[in-house]
Each structure stands twice: as C-alpha cells, then as structure tokens.
Amino acid sequence: MSEKVLLVDDEKDFLEAMSERMRARDMEVTTASSAKEALEKIEQETFDAIVLDFQMPEMDGMEALKSIKAKRPESQIILLTGYATIEKGVEAMKVGASDFLEKPADLELLSKKIKQAKAEKMLIVEKQQEKKVIDIIKKYGI
Amino acid sequence: MSEKKHSPDSTGIQFFGRVSASISHEIKNVLAIMNENAGLLEDFVMMAGKGVPLSNERLDGLAMALHKQIQRADGIVIKMNQFAHSADRPMENVDLYDAICLVTDICSRMVDLKGVNVNTIQPASPVMVNTHRFYVQNMLWSYIEGIMTVLNPEDTLQIETDKIKNGAEVIFSFEAPRKVGTLEIEYPESAPLLISYLDAEHIDESASGTIRIRLPEKIC
C-alpha cells in the first residue's frame, strides 16, 4: 500500500519537482504552499507522514509543527531545513517531530523515513483502537 | 566593557552575520530545487532505460527550471557581493535609494518570513550623502526590523528618500498607525547607536505612521 504524504513548502518549484519524484515512487502526495494551507488539509484528511519546511512566511515550521500536533497528535512530521543543527533538532523532537532532514534532501533517505513514519503511525493508531475497545469493554462490563 | 559591546563594529558584525545566514538559507533553497530537478532528470533517464520514451517537452521544461534557479542564485550572489564590498571604504558618496534597495533585497527573506510588504519609492533625482555605506545599510535594516514589530502579515512598509537642507531624509511610512498607540516599536539596540554614529536624527511621528531619519550631507 502506498504512503500518503503531505508535502509543505513555500517554494512552489520545489513542491512540483519533489512531489513528481515522490509520486514516481508510488507515494500519494498532497502539497501545501503554506502552514495555513497545510492545517486546512489535515482538517480534511489524514496522512501517513507530513514533510514540513522549517522556515516559512507567516508561520514557521516550529509553530506549524505545534499546531499540527495539537490538531492531530498521531501525525508523523519530518522537518526539512536549510541547516540542521543539533539544537534545532532537539527542539523539534521535543515539540513532537519524528525526524529532521537537511536540504537538499536525499529522496531515497526521505522515502525510508516516510516508510518508518507510516509504520510508527500505524502502531499509534492500533494502540488507540485497542484502548477504545478496552474502554468499551470496561464501560459495559463485557 | 558595555561600551565595547555596543560599538557600531559589534552591531555591524551582527548585521553582517545575520545577512550572511539569511542568504545562505536562500542559496540552500535554490540548491534544494536544483537537486530535485536533477533527480527528476535521473528518473527520466532510468525510465528511458526501461523503454519509456523521453519527452522533449519535459526535458526542455527541466532545463528551463534549472536555468531559472541558476539565475536566481546568481542574483543572490551578486547582491551578497555588493553587500560585502559596502564595508570597503569608511566614507563615500552614497545614493540612499540604492542603499535602501540593496538592504530590502538582501534582507528580503527575513521580511518575507514576517509576511510584510516593503515598497521602495525611487526619488525623481538621486539623493546623495557622504557617509559610511555599510552602517547606513545597518541603520536602515535596524529601522525596518523595528517597525516590523508593530506590523502584521500583509501590512505594507513604504520607504522613500528626500533631499533636505544640509542633508537627506529617509522616510518610513506604514499602514498600521492604529497599533502604534498601544504597541511600542521595539527597535534593536543597534538603532540608536547607528543614529549617533552617522550623526543622524530620528524624528518619531509613529502616531501618524511615519518615522523620519535625517542624515547630514557629510558625516563630521
């Protein structure tokens, strides 16, 4: 089954080229050119992974990351940045990023990280469903 | 100790560092796009190896996309070079409109991140002052950065220059005077230091959405 990815970057030329390459690798890609647009898209559907530019106009990657996590805590977010410093990486992980990659990114490495993110998300969703079932069993004393 | 910390040299180094970091980010973005276009080309070659015919139109499109990014990177590097050379001479005749344009160009990414529109107005004839080009640019950025603290995304900051008796004026006008009454413009620490170093004068008409900087014809 293909990975469903939301790619967020304010550089439209980057979005076009990267999404075409990802689709050629059987990924189902949706693009957003701003954090605001990305937040609207995650309201409408769910994604296996969100690849997010760290610095964007109006709302930067860190703020966007917090907002996405608040709306969809199970989201797996991979941040893309011009300069991946340890401090930035630690800060992003604390806020809930799954991974952190430097631009220009190696697509094969990014694809691997997207697959890992999907597996991680499936685990989280399974656990959430398990908990729901346990809660129902407890509630009705089955 | 504190005097040394706040000298124009130290604020100048900070300014140079911030501009360099911002420009290197811009170049990274260009490289990222070129990287993806090169990757697409590799994908096309790989598909051609599997018998999928190469499309001339797609190849042409890729070549154009690469040219576009090369021109973009060239523009960034030309501006960076101009900016680096602005510290070459302690004193020279400076066209204020040119200085404003260079600052708004090299700092465009920092302005874009804030979402503010900066509009520069060319004077009818050149407005010249004999001053330190680098520190004038540093002062201009300090004011843009300060004024942006009271602006919202989509607001416009207009910058123009005018000749006055014994010097020139840089006029910053913005569309958010309503906020200035309740919000103080937070200028960087460098702003008053640079005003003093450049023998300039700060005229605050922020309640009506204007800040004027008067520069002498020549620094003493």
Name the phi and psi angles at B18, rounded to 5: -65, -45
Helix (H) or strand (E) holding B69: helix B56-85
Chain A residues close to B40, C-beta within 8 Å:
17, 20-21
Residue A24 contacts B, CB cutoff 8 Å = yes
Give the pLDDT of residue B38.
96
Give the chain A residue nearest B37 (alpha carbons): A17
* Strand, helix or coil for residue B81: helix
Q: Which of the four pLDDT bands, split at 50, 70 and 90, describes residue B4?
A: very low
pLDDT at B210 over 50: yes
pLDDT at B179 over 90: no
Q: Check A104 against B40: CB less than 8 A apart.
A: no
Helix (H) or strand (E) holding A124: helix A107-140
Sign of dihedral through CA atoms B151, B153, B154, B159? positive
pLDDT at B128 over 50: yes
Q: Check B29 against A82: CB less than 8 A apart.
A: yes
Q: Check B32 against A60: CB less than 8 A apart.
A: no
Q: How is residue A75 written in tokens? A: 């989201």
Q: Which of the four pLDDT bands, split at 50, 70 and 90, describes residue B40?
A: very high
pLDDT digits 0-9 by tens, A37-52: 999 999 999 999 999 9
pLDDT at B154 over 90: no
Name the phi and psi angles at A83, rounded to 5: -130, 110
Q: Could you tell me if A13 and B65 are in contact, meaning their C-beta atoms sit under 8 angstroms apart?
A: yes
Q: What is the mean pLDDT of residues B68-73?
A: 97
Listed residue (B165, B218, B217, B172) closest to B191, CA to CA: B172
Listed residue (A9, A56, A12) closest to B112, CA to CA: A56
Q: Which of the four pLDDT bands, split at 50, 70 and 90, describes residue B3?
A: very low
* Strand, helix or coil for residue A97: coil
Cis peptide before A104 (omega within 30 of 0): yes
Q: Where are the beta strands (DSSP E) in chain B?
A: 92-95, 117-121, 128-131, 156-164, 167-174, 201-205, 210-216
pLDDT digits 0-9 by tens, A103-135: 999 999 999 999 999 998 888 888 888 888 888
A125 versus B183: the higher-pLDDT residue is A125
ipTM metric: 0.84
pLDDT at B1 over 60: no
Residue B114 contacts A, CB cutoff 8 Å = yes
Residue-level length of chain B: 220
Q: Check B65 against A17: CB less than 8 A apart.
A: yes
Distance from CA of A19 to the nearest CA of B (A): 9
Closest partner residue to B39 (CB to CB) among A13, A21, A55 is A21
Q: What is the mean pLDDT of residues B124-147?
A: 96
pLDDT digits 0-9 by tens, B188-207: 999 999 999 999 999 998 88
**Percent of chain B scoring above 90 in pLDDT:** 80
pLDDT digits 0-9 by tens, A52-79: 998 888 787 888 899 999 999 999 999 9
Give the pLDDT of residue B206.
83
Residue A86 contacts B, CB cutoff 8 Å = no
Listed residue (A41, A63, A43, A40) closest to A53, CA to CA: A63
Q: Check A105 against B35: CB less than 8 A apart.
A: yes
Cα–Cα dist B77/B23, whole Å: 8
Cα–Cα dist A30/B99, whole Å: 42
Q: What is the mean pLDDT of residues B144-159?
A: 93
Q: What is the mean pLDDT of residues B142-147?
A: 96
Listed residue (B96, B191, B105, B176) closest to B143, CA to CA: B191
* Burial state string for A85-103 with b = 16 or more CB within 10 A and e = fewer than 16: eeebbeebeebebbbbbbb
pLDDT at B177 over 80: no
Q: What is the DSSP letter of A10?
A: S
Strands A28-32 and A4-8: parallel
Give the chain A residue nearest B64 (alpha carbons): A13
Strands A77-81 and A49-53: parallel
Cα–Cα dist B200/B195, whole Å: 5
Give the count of beta carbons closer than 10 Å to the beta carbon of residue B30. Answer: 23
pLDDT at B170 over 90: yes
B149, with CB counted inside 10 A (0-12, 13-18, 19+), is: middle
Give the pLDDT of residue B95.
97
Give the pLDDT of residue B130.
96
Closest partner residue to A13 (CB to CB) among B25, B33, B39 is B33
Sign of dihedral through CA atoms B5, B9, B11, B14? negative
pTM of the model: 0.85
Highest-scoring range by mean pLDDT, A82-86, A98-102, A123-127, B144-148: B144-148
Bridge partners (DSSP) listed for residue B94? B129
A142 versus A21: the higher-pLDDT residue is A21
Q: Check A82 against B28: CB less than 8 A apart.
A: yes
> Which residue, chain included where needed, has tokens 């640079």?
B194
Bridge partners (DSSP) listed for residue A102? A81
Backbone dihedral region of A40: left (phi > 0), alpha (psi from -120 to 50 degrees) or beta?
Answer: alpha
Q: What is the mean pLDDT of residues B16-39?
A: 94
Q: Could you tell me if A22 and A8 are in contact, meaning their C-beta atoms sit under 8 angstroms apart?
A: no
Interface of B with A in 24-43 (CB under 8 A): 24-25, 28-29, 31-37, 39-40, 43
